């Protein structure tokens, strides 16, 4: 093992949890990239609600019980998962580390779970699909129905097993940190962004070296044919100049159902009405999600609205959840309140920043170990047995407070 490998290994050994991974990533990423992953919309009220919602839930363990090997395995819409976790669709991951979405997908496969690929990746959906392991594809509308349909057809041809329609991005949330930092998915160097971002880039020479070796100028390849005023579409266009919704409409979802043979999942559900509409249109699953606090600030924590949504749809659709998962214990709380699995976004992103695919694998195995330890302490033998009885008072008063 050479000296660089030893340094990277020591970095990983120092990462024991989410906060460690976040702190290590902050030391390695330019401020604009770190804030893009870390931040939320406007005053970040919903971002804080997400984590507080989990912290305000208390377990009710069953004592005098030894669980030798807690069973984490689950089946989600045909996916056999070693634990009830999927890696969430996150745009811009190639800016975090050159391995980007390919590294996250490979680490997910190694962990025995599934990856959900994003339309807003630095790699083509075909390149991501070529990574071994089960994967779903997440589709935006991108203010262009034909572009959306083209992506769906490409995802089908590439072999993705499920399609995720994200409905909470009519425009991008007002992520003021990104605008202050001059962040854009399109990080091509020009005089304007060079002057604005050079000071923070120079403080992160390792990131700059990797970025330059990766070719430096690139755009979002899956949207390369989408332009605004003759220029490639960037993050900022979704909020500043969008002329139409970037989320699929219910009519679009009906079209997806008619044109997609595999599981169809609707992401961005925060109320029972939308959940029931998705079920009526033939969705196989829904993801209770506020987009990690990055869209509508003031929306409730996903975990706070999960129980009533799960109760409303019953067994008609498979319920998943994202937003706010920081530990394996959070996964178990979500399952206790009606989710069948969760999606994690920032967790693998921080691992990626620390050490590429190996960092993602490290953080996923930490999450698995936390789940196993918590289930032993609970006295719960299987994730299939989790229900509200494992929580004290189920949802405590104030769980949705800012």
What does the alpha-carbon distance between residue 365 and residue 361 come to, in Å, rounded to a whole number?
Answer: 6
Count helices and strands in the chain by DSSP H and E runs: 17, 12
Residue among 295, 346, 238, 402 at smallest CA distance from 41? 295
Q: 115, 291, 362, 394: which one is catalytic?
A: 291
115 is catalytic: no
Sequence-separated (6 or more) residues with CB below 8 Å from residue 69: none
CA distances to 88, 122, 345, 356 from 101, in Å: 10, 8, 11, 10
DSSP secondary structure letters along 179-191: HHHT--S-----H
User: Is-contact 12 358, C-beta < 8 A?
Assistant: yes
**Burial level of 189, CB count in 10 A (0-12/13-18/19+)?**
middle
Instruction: List CB contacts of 175: < 8 A, sequence separation 6 or more.
Output: 36, 39, 40, 41, 294
CB-based contacts of 319, cutoff 8 Å, min separation 6? 285, 286, 288, 306, 309, 310, 313, 338, 339, 340
Angle at 239 between CA 251 and CA 192, to 5 degrees: 145
Short-list 223, 205, 77, 211, CA closest to 146: 223
Angle at 271 between CA 85 and CA 114, to 5 degrees: 15
The residues assigned a catalytic role are 291
């Amino acid at each position: 093992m050479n000296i660089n490998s030893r340094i990277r290994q020591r970095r990983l050994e120092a990462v024991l949890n989410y906060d460690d991974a976040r702190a290590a990533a902050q030391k390695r990423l330019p401020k604009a990239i770190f804030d893009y992953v870390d931040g939320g919309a406007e005053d970040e009220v919903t971002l804080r609600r997400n984590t507080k919602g989990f912290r305000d839930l208390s377990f009710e363990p069953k004592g005098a019980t030894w669980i030798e090997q807690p069973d984490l395995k689950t089946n989600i819409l045909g996916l056999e998962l070693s634990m009830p976790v999927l890696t969430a669709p996150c745009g811009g991951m190639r800016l975090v580390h050159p391995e980007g979405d390919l590294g996250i997908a490979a680490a997910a496969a190694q962990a025995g779970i599934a990856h959900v690929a994003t339309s807003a990746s630095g790699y083509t959906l075909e390149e991501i699909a070529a990574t071994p392991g089960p994967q779903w594809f997440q589709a935006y509308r991108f203010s262009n129905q034909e572009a959306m349909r083209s992506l769906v057809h490409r995802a089908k041809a590439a072999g993705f097993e499920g399609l995720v329609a994200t409905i909470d991005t009519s425009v991008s949330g007002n992520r003021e940190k990104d605008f202050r930092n001059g962040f854009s998915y399109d990080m091509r160097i020009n005089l304007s962004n060079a002057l604005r971002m050079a000071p923070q880039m120079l403080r992160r020479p390792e990131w700059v070296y990797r970025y330059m070796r990766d070719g430096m100028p690139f755009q979002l390849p899956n949207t390369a044919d989408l332009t605004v005023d003759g220029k490639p579409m960037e993050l900022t266009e979704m909020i500043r100049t969008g002329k139409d919704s970037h989320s699929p409409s219910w009519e679009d979802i009906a079209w997806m159902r008619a044109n997609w043979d595999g599981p169809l999942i609707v992401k961005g559900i925060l109320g029972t009405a939308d959940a029931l509409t998705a079920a009526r249109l033939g969705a196989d699953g829904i993801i209770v999600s506020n987009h990690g606090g990055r869209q509508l600030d003031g929306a409730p924590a996903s975990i706070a609205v999960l129980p009533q949504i799960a109760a409303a749809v019953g067994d008609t659709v498979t319920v998943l959840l994202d937003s706010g998962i920081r530990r394996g214990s959070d996964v178990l709380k979500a399952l206790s309140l009606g989710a069948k699995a969760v999606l994690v976004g920032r967790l693998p992103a921080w691992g990626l920043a620390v050490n590429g695919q190996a960092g993602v694998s490290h953080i996923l195995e930490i999450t698995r170990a936390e789940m196993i330890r918590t289930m032993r302490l609970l006295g719960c033998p299987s994730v299939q047995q989790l229900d509200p009885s494992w929580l004290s008072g189920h949802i405590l008063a104030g769980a949705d407070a800012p």
